[in-house]
Amino acid sequence: MKAPRAAFFAGWCLVPAFLAAQGAPGQPGEDKVLKDLLELMNTPVVSASRTPERLIDAPATVIVLSRSDLEGRGYTELSQILDDLPGMEVVRSYGANYFKNYWRGYRNDIGDPFLVMVDGVAFNHLWFNTADTPLVSYPIAAVERVEVVYGPASAVYGTNAFMGVINLITRKAPPGNGATVRGTLTTGSFGARVADLQALVRSGELTFSLAARSDKGGLDEDAAERYEYTRSRYYADRGLWGSVVDDGGRAGSAQSDHQHGALDLRVAWGATEFGLQRLWTSNGYGTAYAADQSQAIGKWIRPELSFHLKQGLTFGDRIASTLLLRYRRSDVDDGSFDVESYYGYGSGAATVLTHYEVLNSSLAFTQDFEIKVNDRLALNTGLRFEQKTLQKSYATATGGAKPTGSLGDANHFAVSDRGLYLQARYTLNPSNRFFAGLRSDHNSVYGAANTVRGGYVGNFGPWGLKALYGQAYQEPTARLLYGATSGTGSNTGLRPETSNTAEISGTYTQPALSLSLSVYAVTNHGRIQKVGDEVVNSGDQDVRGMDVGVQWLVPARGVVNQWKVWGWYSRIFRAEDIAGHTGAEQRTRSGDLADDKVWVGTTLTFRTRLSLSLTGRIIGPRPTVQSNPIREVPGYATFDLALAGRDLWKKGLGLSLRVANLTGKDYFHPGLRDAGAGTRPGGFDAAGLWSGSASYYNSLLPQPGRSVQLSLNLAF
């Protein structure tokens, strides 16, 4: 593991500055520490019902990560929040799939079973339905809080809110005329260079926001040597790759760099907002693919472009309206390429360089209403229409040329989505609320889909109780419908997957202590899986589990303003894939899921200016998918340390240090898709024939060792 010595030395120099500043008079920070846990439970959230409501009243299990959580834990990228959320199974290849997240036991190959939104506007890829682009590229400086909604939300959001939604709520300009700037400049291990900034300006009714991020870095190549088919000797083997290894920009090493970025521009006059978002990810191929079949140094570029006009109106004190018009592009840039070797196919040496392109667009109209019928009954209703032009298969070109013809009519199809929903909230008394919702959607390819949602929320002093039921559906991705390239799997007859979830959760909250328990049962129907060279709706899945949480505000004394301890425990009681028909069912263990997972963390805040956090993850062993010859991935425990200080030498300037994988633990995540490459070393036999990996997809994904990142923080 190679950490820049300067960053490491500067980090230790930060400690005396922390100690010296403890005795200095404190200036209250803009992001105040939490007063008590009752304040947190009364925090307004908007993501569960598309309307503001207290966290304790939301008809779903919702976790809120505040601005102080993001800063205190030292997150340098938004996807890192997934590593510390209950019920999540994060798999990181740092490649074309930068990460894959399995939520409450649901594992699939392509696409994500949740929506990622920015201020309620979804940014899942139009063609892949992946959520990694917004979570690795969006500026952290622009995020006020993150709302994570567990459970099916299709009754409110329609397709693909299958297991939940993650909504990034952005910072708004403070009252009064003036300007504020927030940001970080980061350097660290594995070539990390990050600039993350937001500027806010208000002048009367006019507000202006500009957020930007640039993130560059690479893999821990030392860690890659710990698994057979990510070792550098394969990438540089001339017998496999020939003279292509002489081209350092395309082949020859385990190098796999990334360049992520974003630009978010908003201009608002009163309740009218115009927005432009440009997000992009540009990755190497990471550790996902076997090194004797694909070079890691290739490039996979996914740009996102979105324009929107949002208009809010109120009609008296009983009706509020939000109108959204949006145009969007969601592509794979024609600079994307891979280099593959076809020795494993028995035809002798053949190295092929292929460029890829995918172009997709959509135009959407959304109208939502909040209606207060009387003091007890409130309604949320709305409609949505989206017209999408999607590509059928990759436009490809070999030998170094760029693709042409991806915009041709023969390689595109038009699809329309229409949706109408109604959700009612009835307040029997301050302690008892009932919810019911219904949504009807129609897709021009799949036809109609109806989903329902219902629940009860009770609050009795420190006690809270939620009993929830919901349905959801997930459309097949365009990538799976038409197969992309030969042999990668397709089926134009695929149908949406459906899901039913029942959940009971309870909370106990006092000013200094909060406890929570959620028990859930999820049944997924018509799961999309690859069988041979075709993907089909094959079988169901049954998942039963629970999440237990605790937060404790330890009594603070002296220079310590707050000492917060938190923890989660997730247990999967059952996770089974079901094939066959009733009476002849075949049940097998769902792969790549740990039965037991523990997350713990503590944060100390000194005079609101300094914080120290230690976060730990203890992940149990994970039985793998049946196609993986490694039958179980060992469990592991990792710890992260974060130190952060504001106004250390001058108001508005601070430093922060993050040490990830503090103990330098060697560990793995399970491979993606069939994960069948195995661990048997490859080699040429006496006849010159290659015998190597058993699959395109690696069985294990080696994870980075210790990394150190040092940031300069700005707040003016």
- Mean per-residue pLDDT for 157-175? 94
Rounded-to-integer distance, Cα 58 and Cα 46, Å? 9
Q: Is the pLDDT of residue 347 over 60?
A: no
- This prediction has a pTM of 0.93
| Number of separate domains in the chain | 1
Name the percent of the chain lying above pLDDT 70: 92
Confidence at residue 614, expressed as pLDDT on a 0 to 100 scale: 98
**Bridge partner list, 545:** 520, 572
- Closest alpha carbon to 136 in 190, 191, 81, 86: 81
Confidence at residue 14, expressed as pLDDT on a 0 to 100 scale: 40
Confidence at residue 582, expressed as pLDDT on a 0 to 100 scale: 54
Cβ-Cβ contacts under 8 Å for 253 (sequence gap 6 or more) = 221, 232, 235, 236, 296, 297
CB atoms within 10 A of CB 226: 16
**If pLDDT is split at 50, 70 and 90, which confidence band does 222 have?**
very high
Rounded-to-integer distance, Cα 556 and Cα 626, Å? 51
Cβ-Cβ contacts under 8 Å for 141 (sequence gap 6 or more) = 182, 183, 184, 196, 197, 198, 211, 213
Least confident of 206-215, 224-233, 361-370, 492-501: 492-501
Cβ-Cβ contacts under 8 Å for 410 (sequence gap 6 or more) = none
- Closest alpha carbon to 435 in 499, 503, 384: 503
Confidence at residue 484, expressed as pLDDT on a 0 to 100 scale: 61
Rounded-to-integer distance, Cα 466 and Cα 164, Å? 16
Say which residue, 420 or 538, is predicted with more confidence.
420
What is the DSSP secondary-structure string of 239-279?
HHHGGGGG-TTTSSSS---EEEEEEEEEEEETTEEEEEEEE
* CATH number of the CATH domain containing 408: 2.40.170.20
Q: Any idea which residue has 């350097």 for tokens? A: 187
**If pLDDT is split at 50, 70 and 90, which confidence band does 28 have?**
very low
Question: What 3-state DSSP class applies to 87?
Answer: coil
Confirm if 212 and 269 have CB atoms less than 8 A apart. Answer: no
Say which residue, 647 or 11, is predicted with more confidence.
647
Confidence at residue 292, expressed as pLDDT on a 0 to 100 scale: 94
Say which residue, 98 or 486, is predicted with more confidence.
98
Tokens of 83: 């590593």
CB atoms within 10 A of CB 631: 11
* pLDDT tens for each residue of 244-278: 888 889 999 999 999 999 999 999 999 999 999 99
Say which residue, 6 or 259, is predicted with more confidence.
259
Rounded-to-integer distance, Cα 31 and Cα 703, Å? 33
Q: Is the pLDDT of residue 33 over 80?
A: no
Rounded-to-integer distance, Cα 543 and Cα 419, Å? 29
Question: What 3-state DSSP class applies to 82?
Answer: helix
Question: What 3-state DSSP class applies to 38?
Answer: helix
Please give the biggest Cα pair distance in the chain.
Answer: 85
Rounded-to-integer distance, Cα 128 and Cα 106, Å? 17
- Mean per-residue pLDDT for 396-407? 82
- Closest alpha carbon to 580 in 572, 569, 588: 588
Q: How many CA atoms lie within 13 A of 76 on its CB side?
A: 32
- Closest alpha carbon to 417 in 359, 480, 366: 366
Q: How many CA atoms lie within 13 A of 239 on its CB side?
A: 14
DSSP E strands: which ranges in 343-393?
A: 351-358, 361-372, 377-391
Q: Cα dihedral angle (7, 8, 14, 16), rounded to 10 degrees? A: -150
Rounded-to-integer distance, Cα 88 and Cα 599, Å? 11
Q: Is the pLDDT of residue 434 over 90?
A: yes
**If pLDDT is split at 50, 70 and 90, which confidence band does 296 have?**
very high
Tokens of 66: 């505040």
Tokens of 264: 């978010």
Rounded-to-integer distance, Cα 661 and Cα 639, Å? 5
Confidence at residue 164, expressed as pLDDT on a 0 to 100 scale: 96
Least confident of 107-116, 161-170, 452-461, 528-537: 528-537
Confidence at residue 32, expressed as pLDDT on a 0 to 100 scale: 58
Task: Find the angle CA(1)-CA(285)-CA(294) to the nearest 5 degrees.
Answer: 110
Q: Is the pLDDT of residue 21 over 50?
A: no
Question: What Cα–Cα distance (Å) separates residue 685 from each residue in 239, 389, 688, 691, 692?
Answer: 12, 49, 5, 7, 11
**Bridge partner list, 515:** 508, 550
Q: Is 470 exposed, middle or buried (0-12, 13-18, 19+ CB in 10 A)?
A: buried
**If pLDDT is split at 50, 70 and 90, which confidence band does 22 have?**
very low
Rounded-to-integer distance, Cα 268 and Cα 284, Å? 38
Tokens of 634: 């060992």
Cβ-Cβ contacts under 8 Å for 385 (sequence gap 6 or more) = 364, 365, 366, 416, 417, 418, 419
Confirm if 690 and 684 have CB atoms less than 8 A apart. Answer: yes
Q: Is the pLDDT of residue 412 over 60?
A: yes
Confirm if 10 and 711 have CB atoms less than 8 A apart. Answer: no
- Mean per-residue pLDDT for 109-116? 93
Rounded-to-integer distance, Cα 550 and Cα 566, Å? 6
In which domain, by residue range, is 631 found? 5-715
Confidence at residue 407, expressed as pLDDT on a 0 to 100 scale: 67
Q: Is the pLDDT of residue 495 over 50?
A: yes
Question: What 3-state DSSP class applies to 62?
Answer: strand
Least confident of 225-229, 318-322, 525-529, 549-553: 525-529
Tokens of 627: 């196609």
